Each structure stands twice: as C-alpha cells, then as structure tokens.
Amino acid sequence: MPNPKRKISKSRRDKRRTHHGIEGKALFHDPQTGDVSLYHRVNLETGMYRGNKVMKGRNEA
C-alpha cells in the first residue's frame, strides 16, 4: 500500500480543510403565515406543518 514519504504538517493539512466550513441551516418561509422556521419541523406557535394543521399551537386556548 502506498504511504506518504514524509509527514504532512498540521498547517498543510489544515489548509486543505479550509473549505469544509459549516454552512447555515436551510430555512422554510411559510407563504400563508409568513413565519420562518426550519425544514421538517412543526411550527410550535401555529401548529402548522407544510400548510397543514397538525397540532394545537401555543397561542391557542
């Protein structure tokens, strides 16, 4: 199996990994209520998920 001839320094290794940064999370904009939330999550304020009412919201009695 091929092996490196010399040890790769930490700075050289880290330079190669500079593009592996964390990206921001994708957000969902609900066209009916105008709320912004994470994808695949129920909006706890309204109880809506993908335009459907799935549970009671916090602001409901």
Q: pTM here?
A: 0.47
At 9 the pLDDT is: 95
**Sequence letter at residue 24:** G
Residue 48: CB atoms within 10 A of its CB come to 19
Strands 52-53 and 36-38, sheet pairing: unpaired
Residue boundaries of the structural domains of the chain: 25-61
> Where is pLDDT greater, at 2 or 24?
2
SS3 14: helix
**9-60 tens-digit pLDDT:** 999 988 888 887 777 888 888 777 787 888 888 888 888 887 788 988 887 7
